[in-house]
Homo-oligomer: A and B are copies of this chain.
Amino acid sequence: MLDYLSLSALAAVVREGSFERAARALHVTPSAVSQRIRQLEERVGCALVVRGQPCQATDTGRRLCQHMDRVRLLEQELQGSLPALAPEGVTRVALPIAVNADSLATWLAPAISAFAAEVPVLMDVAVDNEDHTAGWLRSGAVLAAVTATARPATGCNSRPLGAMRYLAAASPAFVARYFSDGVTAGRLAEAPSLVFNPQDDLQARWVRRLCHRHVELPRHSLPSTQAFITAGLAGMGWGLHPETLIAPHLQRGDLLELVPQTPLDVPLYWQETRAASALLDGLSRAVVQAARGSLMV
């Protein structure tokens, strides 16, 4: 049997980012935390935490944290059916997930919020590019993810959620300045584009589909869903915006589609570890249902 006192210490250090804060959260001394983790590292035979600011789990450390998360989920279900186990009421467990920023800023937040407002859970949401969230799941850092990867990660189920529809748009002044004689490869090489971060290749994909070749785009990097739209409205650049967010701006004419009828659809999937936990099942149901009402089928 694993030593769950040590595992709790490991999970606390990774969650809190330092031995001092972990100790405070667990109501023990920092040296007790340090000793428990050292014991665990000796037993496992490798480092579990990279000491730094903040402290981070190694790959093996993350696997152990994920195991801990699963055990806590199962314990909580047990508490639900055996109230005597938890006289002070059901404790809240952490549910780590990884999602893409645009999903979180649009259809996903209401689903997560409504779910978390009802059940005893603490959502721990990480944001990354939809091409990278599956990596979080594979590494064991999270129990579920919204991802562009259809193929299930080891030990996971994958369900299609539908596609997020993006439209290439810019302000009328920007369109007049750069695209008055059409949206061509030559013009796109001059007109500043907006990308969410260096990993965001939606703009490049849209251009490749339109021009049938690679165009080196001048790029502003702006990692905030709101700022992205603010920048579009102010004429800072063109970019691919979620249709649901810019629909009112398109209607009012504050933003124009660069080329009508050229949406880019990004199919998204919900992948969850097969932890057989009713709590995770509940979240999955809420996510799939919210997607059904918001994403393209």
Answer whether residue A260 sits at the interface, using C-beta atoms and an 8 A cutoff: no
User: How many copies of the polypeptide does the oligomer hold?
Assistant: 2
Interface stretch of the complex, out of A60-68, A76-84, A108-116: A108-116
Give the interface centre of A174, A214, A222 by most chain B CB atoms within 10 Å: A222
Interface stretch of the complex, out of A33-41, A159-167, A223-231: A223-231
Q: Are A123 and B199 in contact (CB under 8 A)?
A: no
Kindly identify which residue among B92, B222, B224 contacts A192, using a CB–CB cutoff of 8 Å: B92
Distance in angstroms between the alpha carbons of A216 and B117 in the assembled complex? 20
Answer whether residue A104 sits at the interface, using C-beta atoms and an 8 A cutoff: yes
Known contacts A109-B227, A113-B235; A222/B122 CB under 8 A: no
A105-B227, A122-B218, A122-B219 provided; 17 other pairs, C-beta below 8 A? A17-B199, A24-B214, A109-B222, A109-B227, A109-B231, A110-B230, A110-B234, A113-B227, A113-B233, A116-B220, A116-B237, A117-B235, A117-B236, A123-B236, A125-B220, A125-B223, A127-B223
Q: Which residue of B lies closest to A234 (CB)?
A: B113
Enumerate chain B residues within 8 angstroms of A126, measured Cβ to Cβ: 221, 223
Answer whether residue A156 sits at the interface, using C-beta atoms and an 8 A cutoff: no
Q: Are A220 and B122 in contact (CB under 8 A)?
A: yes
Which A91-142 residues sit within 8 Å CB-CB of chain B? Answer: 92, 101, 104-105, 108-110, 112-114, 116-117, 122-127
Enumerate chain B residues within 8 angstroms of A24, measured Cβ to Cβ: 214, 216
A14 to chain B, nearest CB (A): 9
Q: Are A225 and B224 in contact (CB under 8 A)?
A: yes
Q: Are B17 and A224 in contact (CB under 8 A)?
A: no
Kindly identify which residue among B112, B218, B219 contacts A236, using a CB–CB cutoff of 8 Å: B112
Answer whether residue A25 sits at the interface, using C-beta atoms and an 8 A cutoff: yes
Answer whether residue A198 sits at the interface, using C-beta atoms and an 8 A cutoff: yes
Interface residues on A, range: 35 or more
Give the interface centre of A16, A126, A192, A236 by most chain B CB atoms within 10 Å: A236
Answer whether residue A292 sits at the interface, using C-beta atoms and an 8 A cutoff: no
A231 to chain B, nearest CB (A): 4
Which A227-251 residues sit within 8 Å CB-CB of chain B? Answer: 227, 230-231, 233-237
Known contacts A54-B198, A116-B236, A192-B116; A104/B227 CB under 8 A: yes
Distance in angstroms between the alpha carbons of A126 and B15 in the assembled complex? 23
Enumerate chain B residues within 8 angstroms of A230, measured Cβ to Cβ: 109-110, 113
Distance in angstroms between the alpha carbons of A16 and B221 in the assembled complex? 12
Q: Are A127 and B224 in contact (CB under 8 A)?
A: yes
